[in-house]
Structure 1
Amino acid sequence: MPQVDPGMPPCPTRRGVLTAGVGLALGSVAAMSLAACGIRLEDDAPRVPLIPTRAPISGEAFLIALWRHSDDLAERATSLGGAATGVPARLAGLHRRQVSVLQAELLRLGVPQKVLDDASAPSATPTTTTPPTTGAPTTGTATGTGTGTGTAPVAGPKALAAEEASDLGPTAIASLATVPSSAVPLIGSVLAQRAAAATLLGAPATWPEPAWSAPSLAASYLESTRAAVYAFEVVAAQSPTGAQRTLALATLTTLESRASEQESLASASAGPPALGYPLPFAVTTPAAARRLAARVLTDLRASVARDLGSTNGDLGPLGALVQWLAATEVLGSRWGVPLAAFPGLT
C-alpha cells in the first residue's frame, strides 16, 4: 500500500470538492438575498461582498449637527450665569432637554449609536482661542449656513443670541424639508425655539421673504390666527390701563399683521372671518384677560406646531410656519407662558 508523504497536503476527495462548491454557492445566494431585502451593515462592520453598507438617512448630517449644537448651547447658556429665572438659565435647561430628545429621535430614525458616539467624541484637533472665520455670526443677524459651529467664544447674551440664530442660516429650511416627514414637526419646533431665543436675548434673527405656491395652505392656517385676534380684542378691552393694556395692544397688532399676511397669501382661498369665536371662559376682569392671553397663545403655539407636518416639504409654508411658531413663542413668554424646548409640542 503506498505511503503518504507527510510533506505533501492531502488530496481532496470528490465529496469534499462537491461540498465546498455547494457551500460557496449557498453563501453567495444568501449574500445576494440579504442585499435584495435591503439589509445594510452597521457603519463599522467589516465589508462583506454583495451586501451594501448603510446609507445615511435623509438629512442625517443636518440632524446630527443640530443635536450636537444643542449640547454646546446648553454649555454656553450655563456659562453666562445669572438668575435662575433669567433667559440664559432657562435656555440652558431647554437645550439639555433637546440633547436627550434629539438623540432618541436619531436612534428612532435608524442612525446607529456608533455614529452618534463618533459625532460626540472630542475632536482630535486641538482647539484654539481664535474665533472661526465661518459659522456663527458676531451679530444678531442669522447669516449662518444652517448649523452652528460651536466654537465662537461667549461674550454675553447677544453672543449667545447669535449662536442661537446661527442654526437659522439660509439653508436651514431647505435642510428641514429633507428630513423624514415624521420628524419635521419636532425639528421645525427646534428651529423656532432658536429664533425665539435670539429675539428674547436681544438680537432677533432675520427671515427671507417666503415664496408661496399653496394658497389653500395659507387659508387653512388663517382660521386659528383669526380666532386669536378675536380673543386679544377681548383681552385689550378688559385691560383698560397700564402695562397689561400696552402688552395686549402690541400682541393684538402682531396677530393682526399675521392674519393680514395669511389673507394675502391665501388670496381667493380665504373666506370671510367669523363674527365671533368661542372663548374658553368668561372674561370680565383684567386678571381673567391675562389668563385668556396665556391660554390663547399656548393653544395657538400648539396649532402652528401641528401645521408643520402639513407642508409636504414646500419651503414657503415650512419657513413661514417656523417663523410664526417662533413669534408665538416670544409672545407667549411675554404673557408668562413658560419657554419650551419644543414649542407647541410640549
Structure 2
Amino acid sequence: MDGDTRGRGSRVMDGLGRPPRRLLVLGGGAAALALLVERGLRLDRPRAPAPAPTRRPAPDETVLLSAVADLTRLDADATTVLSGPDASATVHRLRAVTRDQLRVFRGRLTNAGVPAAVIAAAVAAPPEAASPAAVTGTIPASGTPDPTTPPADAPVRTRAALAARYDSVGPDDWAALTTATPATRELLAAAYGERLASAVVLGHEVSVLAGPSPARPAIVARTEPLVYAFEVVAAQSRGAQRQQAEETLAALVRLEIAVSGASSTAPAGWSLPFPVTTPDAARRLATEVLASAVASATEVAGGSPGAASLEDVGRWSAGVQALAVDWGVPLTAFPGASA
C-alpha cells in the first residue's frame, strides 16, 4: 500500500511541479509576443516596404538632356520644312547632321544609366522663351528684337525660320558648357558651332562676338593665313573657280576685319603646304586650308575656355565652315572634336 501511495503521489507531484515541455514553449512564446506588441509591433498591418534608392545623376546629365531636347525640336522643325515648299537637299543634309548629334548625345545618356523616362520628360518639357540677345548672341544695333527670330514655341515652316532656330544658341548655353567635363564640353561646343554654320548655310547672318574673348588672338592667328592662302588660290584660278575664290577671299577679309578690328595686313612669308601653280592645285589648297581651319576649333578655344571664348570660337568657326561647304567640305556633326 505504501509503495502504491508513494507512486501515485510522485506522479501527482510531477504533474503539479513540472508541466510538460510543450506548455513551457507555448507559454514562453506568448510572453515574447506580448512584449513585442507592447513595444509597438502591429500584427494587423504588413511591414512597410524599404525606401527606394535615390538615383545619382550621371556626369553632365543636365547639359546633355538640354542638348537632346533642343536637337529633338530642331529635328522636328527641319522635318516640317521638308514637308513644305521650302524643302531642299540642303535642309535634308542639315537634318541628317542634327540626327547624328542627337544619336551621339542620347547614347551618352543611356550608356551612363539615365532612364529613358528621364530623357523623354526632358524632351517633352516646353522650351523656355528666349530674349533677342539670348537668341542671337549679340544685342541688335537698333535695340529692338529681330523680327525674323520666331518665338521659342512658334511653328517652323520656312527656310528663314529654320535658320533662326539653328542660330538659337544663347549665352546660357555657352555658360553651361563650362560646367561639363572636357570631353562633353568639346562635343557640345563643336555641335553648337555646326548649328551656327547651318544657319549661315541657310542664309542667316551669324555675327562674331561683340567683345573679344581671351581666344580672340588665336582666332586672328588662324584667320590671317586663310586670307593669304585664298589670295594665292584666286591668283592661280581661272574662270568660275577664280570668281568663287575671289568671293571667298572677300568673305575672309570681312571676317578678318571683324575679329581683328583692322583691315588685312597679312605679313608675307607663310609657307604653303605644296606648290600652287595650277587651278587644280589652287582648288586643293582651298579645300585643305579650310578643312584645317574647321578642325582647329578645339585648339583655338584653348584648354579651359570660358563661356566667352567658347562662343567666340563657335561663331568664328561657323563662318569658316559655311565657306568650306562652298568648296566641297561638308558639315559634320562634331567638327574638330576628338572625344
What is the TM-score when the length of structure 1 is the normalising length? 0.68
Root-mean-square deviation (CA, aligned residues, Å) is: 3.8
Instruction: Give the Cα–Cα distance (whole angstroms) in 2 for the partners of residues 186 and 123 of structure 1.
Output: 20
1:312 to 287, 290, 304: 304
Structure 1 position 70 matched with structure 2 position 71: yes
Q: Which residue matches 2:272? A: 278
Q: Which residue matches 1:248? A: 245
| Contact 1:74 1:91 (8 Å CA) reproduced | no
Instruction: Give the Cα–Cα distance (whole angstroms) in 1 for the partners of residues 281 and 166 of structure 2.
Output: 34
Change (3 A) 1:119 1:341: same
Q: Which residue matches 1:345? A: 337
| Contact 1:304 1:321 (8 Å CA) reproduced | yes
Q: Which residue matches 1:16? A: none
Instruction: Give the Cα–Cα distance (whole angstroms) in 1 for the partners of residues 162 and 108 of structure 2.
Output: 25
Question: Which amino acid is 1:255 matched to?
Answer: L
Instruction: Give the Cα–Cα distance (whole angstroms) in 2 for the partners of residues 83 and 337 of structure 1.
Output: 24
Q: CA deviation at 1:7?
A: 7.2
Kindly provide the CA deviation profile for residues 323-342 of structure 1, in whole angstroms up to 9, marking residues without a partner as x: 11111110101112112111
Q: How many pairs were matched up?
A: 284
Unaligned runs of 5+ in 1: 13-44, 266-271
What is the TM-score when the length of structure 2 is the normalising length? 0.69
Q: Which residue matches 2:294? A: 301
Q: Which residue matches 1:324? A: 316
Unaligned runs of 5+ in 2: 1-17, 35-49, 140-149
Kindly provide the CA deviation profile for residues 136-181 of structure 1, in whole angstroms up to 9, marking residues without a partner as x: 98xx95689xxx9974312111121122122x12322212222212
1:225 to 223, 229, 242: 223
Kindly provide the CA deviation profile for residues 233-258 of structure 1, in whole angstroms up to 9, marking residues without a partner as x: 1101012444x333322322333444
Instruction: Give the Cα–Cα distance (whole angstroms) in 1 for the partners of residues 124 and 69 of structure 2.
Output: 16
1:90 to 93, 106, 114: 93
| Contact 1:47 1:53 (8 Å CA) reproduced | no
Instruction: Give the Cα–Cα distance (whole angstroms) in 2 for the partners of residues 100 and 10 of structure 1.
Output: 62
| Contact 2:212 2:312 (8 Å CA) reproduced | no
Deviates further, 322-331 or 201-210 = 201-210
* Larger RCO (CA under 8 A, 6+ residues apart): 2
| Contact 2:237 2:282 (8 Å CA) reproduced | yes
Change (3 A) 1:175 1:237: same
Instruction: Give the Cα–Cα distance (whole angstroms) in 1 for the partners of residues 336 and 282 of structure 2.
Output: 22
* 1:165-314 alignment runs, 5 A limit: 165-166=167-168, 168-206=169-207, 208-212=209-213, 214=214, 217-242=215-240, 244-259=241-256, 273=267, 275-279=269-273, 281-308=274-301, 310-314=302-306
Q: CA deviation at 1:304?
A: 1.9
Q: CA deviation at 1:311?
A: 4.7
Change (3 A) 1:234 1:191: same
| Contact 1:311 1:317 (8 Å CA) reproduced | no
Question: Which amino acid is 2:129 matched to?
Answer: T
Instruction: Give the Cα–Cα distance (whole angstroms) in 2 for the partners of residues 177 and 329 of structure 1.
Output: 23
| Contact 1:189 1:325 (8 Å CA) reproduced | no
